[in-house]
């Protein structure tokens, strides 16, 4: 790995990949969605379909990410991936037509998935060599993006008017992140070897539980702001989303020591459990306190799930398989993430409303945590 920047600096710069691909391209959509629904007359299913389009692109990026990185190098995929994603975020502001928006959401996911696989491989290597917390820091960048957009987007949208300005701001921030990555990330070409049946067997339980996580968490990220608003809760969008983002940042400091003390494999089911509790809480308590606690539990755990499954997989396979394994896990997660918004949106349009969709999400996350716990017990004995 090129030493033009310190490994710690590189590890911190890599957090800008999930900052953009997760925090901006995915979570920020939940902030802009209510205004888009109002102006464009979308149903909840329409909003879910837009999220699914993004997830489908992310899935495609994850599937081809390891092969693309093997051919072009990790740095190339990181820089061009985040640059392409920035442009599609800008482009979302150009039209109110549903089909082009779906195309742009797909493009943001595709480029983000390509960058995420390459960045995750680099973070995995750093976590095993010179910067142990690198893999936990990596997804933590998304929390900073959530916090920034929560504090910045609502007042900007109110002052300027309309959801289009939201996408322009999001795209501009993503472009700045791309410039930093281009300046800091070195040339790097990791080994990305094909996956054997033995390797797949070692991560099978992780794949299943991670797919369930993708299926379960995404409805909360997409619809929870609308659910809180429709329920008449007094908590503002800024306070709610800021609580979620701040908790995510805090989690990046809490989980590394827990992963080191109890191992990532042992803590991964715990992160899923905390996430399930956070989703379930908002269903039973939409008060201001309940909403803030729910957002905090979800925020402190949701990106730790990403760190946990990556670290658990890293500990089960040889270094030359890390890139392929991360790509495979990201793809299975992407399948769940693609289906989740459709399920949540369809249930949200029933007479039971979003409560039913979020209840299904909580149950799915709980199932994922049980499977992860059983898998850890079986692999550690």
Alpha helices in 92-133 (DSSP H): 98-128
Q: What is the pLDDT of residue 128?
A: 83
Alpha carbon distance 284, 355 (integer Å)? 9
Alpha carbon distance 372, 268 (integer Å)? 7
Contact (Cβ atoms closer than 8 angstroms) between residue 64 and residue 72: no
Give me the sign of the Cα torsion angle 13, 249, 297, 309.
positive
Alpha carbon distance 305, 138 (integer Å)? 12
Q: Please, what is the average pLDDT of the chain?
A: 89
**3-class SS at 95?**
coil
Cα-trace Rg, the chain: 19
Model confidence band, residue 234 (pLDDT cutoffs 50, 70, 90): low
First to last CA, the chain: 36
Nearest to 232 by CA among 180, 195, 284, 286: 286
Architecture category of domain 7-380 in CATH: Up-down Bundle (1.20)
Query: What's this model's pTM, rounded to 2 decimal places?
Result: 0.86
Q: 136-145, 270-279, 318-327: which range is least confident on average?
A: 318-327
Q: Is the pLDDT of residue 243 over 60?
A: yes
Q: What is the mean pLDDT of residues 358-378?
A: 96
More confident residue, 53 or 253: 53
Alpha carbon distance 48, 346 (integer Å)? 8
Contact (Cβ atoms closer than 8 angstroms) between residue 120 and residue 330: yes
Give the model confidence (pLDDT) of 26-79 as tens digits.
889 988 888 898 899 999 899 989 988 998 999 999 889 888 988 899 999 999
- Give the best-scoring range by mean pLDDT among 4-13, 30-39, 107-116, 130-139: 107-116
What dihedral angle (degrees, nearest 10) is formed by the CA atoms of 278, 37, 82, 63?
Answer: 70
Model confidence band, residue 192 (pLDDT cutoffs 50, 70, 90): low
Alpha carbon distance 305, 294 (integer Å)? 16
Q: Is the pLDDT of residue 299 over 60?
A: yes
Q: What is the mean pLDDT of residues 162-175?
A: 93
Model confidence band, residue 191 (pLDDT cutoffs 50, 70, 90): low
Alpha carbon distance 275, 111 (integer Å)? 27
Alpha carbon distance 175, 169 (integer Å)? 10
Can you count the helices (H) and strands (E) in the chain?
15, 0
Contact (Cβ atoms closer than 8 angstroms) between residue 297 and residue 305: no
Residue with the two structure tokens 């008449």: 232
Q: What is the pLDDT of residue 91?
A: 96
Model confidence band, residue 8 (pLDDT cutoffs 50, 70, 90): very high
DSSP 8-state code for residue 103: H
Give me the residue spans of the domains in the chain: 7-380
């Amino acid at each position: 790995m090129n030493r033009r920047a310190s490994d710690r600096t590189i590890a911190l710069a890599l957090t800008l990949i999930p900052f953009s691909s997760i925090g901006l391209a995915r979570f920020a959509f939940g902030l802009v969605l209510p205004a888009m629904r109002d102006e464009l007359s979308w149903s909840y299913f329409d909003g879910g379909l837009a999220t699914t389009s993004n997830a489908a692109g992310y899935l495609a990026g994850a599937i081809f990410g390891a092969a693309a990185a093997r051919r072009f190098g990790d740095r190339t995929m990181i820089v061009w991936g985040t640059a392409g994603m920035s442009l599609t975020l800008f482009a979302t502001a150009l039209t109110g037509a549903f089909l082009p928006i779906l195309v742009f959401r797909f493009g943001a996911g595709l480029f983000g998935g390509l960058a995420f696989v390459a960045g995750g491989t680099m973070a995995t290597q750093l976590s095993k060599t010179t910067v142990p917390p690198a893999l936990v820091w990596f997804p933590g960048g998304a929390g900073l993006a959530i916090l920034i957009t929560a504090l910045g987007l609502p007042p900007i949208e109110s002052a300027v008017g309309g959801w289009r300005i939201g996408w322009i701001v999001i795209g501009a921030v993503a472009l700045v992140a791309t410039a930093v990555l281009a300046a800091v990330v070195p040339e790097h070409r990791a080994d990305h070897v094909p996956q054997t049946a033995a390797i797949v067997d070692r991560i099978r339980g992780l794949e299943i539980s991670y797919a369930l996580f993708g299926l379960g968490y995404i409805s909360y990220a997409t619809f929870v702001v609308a659910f809180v608003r429709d329920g008449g809760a007094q908590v503002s969008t800024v306070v709610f989303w800021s609580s979620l983002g701040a908790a995510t940042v805090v989690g990046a400091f809490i989980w590394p020591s827990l992963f080191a003390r109890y191992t990532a494999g042992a803590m991964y089911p715990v992160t899923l459990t905390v996430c399930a509790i956070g989703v379930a809480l908002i269903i039973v308590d939409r008060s201001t306190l309940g909403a803030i606690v729910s957002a905090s539990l979800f925020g402190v755990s949701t990106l730790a799930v990403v760190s946990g499954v990556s670290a658990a997989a890293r500990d089960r396979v040889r270094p030359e398989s890390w890139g392929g394994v991360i790509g495979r896990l990201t793809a299975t997660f992407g399948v769940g993430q693609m289906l989740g918004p459709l399920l949540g949106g369809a249930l949200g349009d029933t007479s039971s409303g979003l409560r039913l969709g979020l209840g299904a999400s909580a149950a799915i996350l709980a199932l994922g945590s049980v499977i992860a716990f059983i898998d850890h017990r079986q692999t550690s004995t």
